[in-house]
Amino acid sequence: MTAPQVRESAAGLFRVDDGLGVWPHRGRVAAVGIGHSPTARRWDGAAETSIGAWTILAVRRAVADAGVDPAAVDVLVLDRHTTGGGSPWPEGAEIPREVAERFRPTDDPLDGVARLSPQWLLANLPELSGVKLVVVTTMCMSMALTAAIETVGRGHGTTAIAVKAWHNFPGRYGVRGANADPTVSGPAKHGVRGAGIAGANSFMNAMEFRRYLFKYGKSREMMAPFVVNSRANGLLMPEGYWAQHDPRPLTAADYLGSRMIADPSSLLDNDLPVHAAAAYLVTTAERAVDLRQPPAYVLGHAGSGVARGDRYDGLPYRSVVETLEESEAWAAATARRVYESAAVRADDLAFENCYDGFSFLHPFWLEAFGYAGVRHGEALDFYQGDIGLKGPHPVSPSGGNIGGGRTRFWGHTDSIQQIQQRAGARQIGRPATIGLSGGFMPYWSNFVIWSRDPDGP
């Protein structure tokens, strides 16, 4: 096996500009296989539960689920980072010897433990002997999956694995390093993105949501049905954190009684950091028809962000924090691009799996996409109606990050399974013909439109 080409940027693969029209590969790419590791709250230090081990497991399961010969996989798309920054490897801590000895190492002792290089993953997945191209992405599964879809669409490979993993080490998430210092440097001292001086990760979203409530005359209590529905759906996702470890439904009273973190954002508006990995197998429409699972065709994809050359970032805020007006404008522009790419309209959607970590992001996306005819300022009213799996407009059938833990991939898994009609107890009542999944935030996102029919509606 010759070493694959490694592209360290996926910037050129994202459709973040206006006016790109219909996706040229509409209906010609499909997701088929899904692989998940178990989901843990934190890593227990064992070799077989290390994030590297669980990523290997997820990839193997995705390949087996699709019924593809592992040697046929020719593209690997991954993110080297396995934390958003909240769970760094404890300084000076030793890597358990059992872990170091279990896997084929790279020069980086934290590879497979606190991060993931393509070299490590391929060395420990020797059966993926046909990988010719590795694409390194950043942030979320939405980016990795979209990059895999576009790569296959362009014909740079025929069978791609998109993988995303999140480790979570013992210790309180985020209460480490610079946060413990009496001084503050860098952008955090101005509160950029609500970090640093604001003192709560959910601050920015919380204050935007308060502005939303003010603008549209709504109340925070109106979020309760969404959070309750998310947990209920998440409990039907066997891979999710709550389903695996604490399968109790939530009530509206639980939500309203939940302790505040950054009021109006409570503990239950924040998604739980977890330790988990997932992989999807994406292939051409021609190959997909002969595989073990039915194809979930991609009609289009688009997102928000800045992609120039090899640079790929979120959209810059006008000032230190994102405003509601920026969020609404960016989300609306994203939705227009997504619909245009797929040549579908809001009323073609049978279900949606829009990003929800924090919970308050869901109404922003729901309104931008006009799901079920919901317009700006109407999402919270919409949540008071029938948003359940068997109703006319299922909301977040995956349960999202609120219902399954902070992985940012449940929505994609559910969308593919809904289209394939193998979502089990989560299978929506109406025919799952066309669906939407993606995230994360309005300033930086990728969404996919899925379809049972490669020709769309």
Partner 1 sequence: MPRQSPVPETVDREFFAAANRGRLVVQYCGRCDRWQYPPTTRCPVCDGAESFLWREVEGRGTVYSFAVVHDTQIASLRADLPYTVVVVSLDECPGVLMLSHLPGAADVAIGQAVRPRFAVTEATGQRVPEWEPLS
The residues binding partner 1 (CB under 8 A) are 172, 174-175, 179-187, 189-192, 194, 196-203, 206-208, 210-211, 214, 259-265, 316, 318-321, 323-324
Closer to partner 1 at the Cβ: 71 or 192? 192
Closer to partner 1 at the Cβ: 149 or 261? 261
Closer to partner 1 at the Cβ: 74 or 322? 322
Per the CB < 8 A criterion, the answer to whether 302 and 178 are in contact is no
Smallest distance, partner 1 to C-beta of residue 321, A:
6
Smallest distance, partner 1 to C-beta of residue 271, A:
15
Closer to partner 1 at the Cβ: 86 or 105? 86
Q: Which tokens belong to 223? A: 């979020």
Could you please report the per-residue DSSP string of 58-127? HHHHHHHHHT--GGG--EEEEESBSSSSSSPPPTTPPPPHHHHHHS---S-TTBTTTB--HHHHHHT-TT
Smallest distance, partner 1 to C-beta of residue 174, A:
4
Smallest distance, partner 1 to C-beta of residue 442, A:
16
From residue 394, give the alpha-carbon distance in Å to each of 35, 223, 229, 294, 333: 24, 16, 10, 22, 23
Q: Which tokens belong to 109? A: 């002792």
Smallest distance, partner 1 to C-beta of residue 367, A:
18
Nearest in space to 23 (alpha carbons), one of 149, 202, 191: 149
Smallest distance, partner 1 to C-beta of residue 201, A:
7
Residue owning tokens 């619909």: 339
Closer to partner 1 at the Cβ: 34 or 321? 321
Closer to partner 1 at the Cβ: 71 or 184? 184
Nearest in space to 15 (alpha carbons), one of 282, 415, 340: 340
Distance CA 76, CA 144 (A): 9
Q: Output 89-98 pairs: Cβ under 8 A, ≥24 positions apart.
A: 89/113, 89/114, 89/169, 90/169, 90/171, 90/176, 96/45, 96/46, 96/47, 98/46, 98/47
Per the CB < 8 A criterion, the answer to whether 132 and 4 are in contact is yes
Smallest distance, partner 1 to C-beta of residue 209, A:
9
Closer to partner 1 at the Cβ: 67 or 316? 316
Smallest distance, partner 1 to C-beta of residue 270, A:
10
Counting Cβ atoms within 10 Å, is residue 424 exposed (0-12), middle (13-18) or buried (19+)? exposed
Greatest CA separation for the chain: 62
Closer to partner 1 at the Cβ: 129 or 219? 219
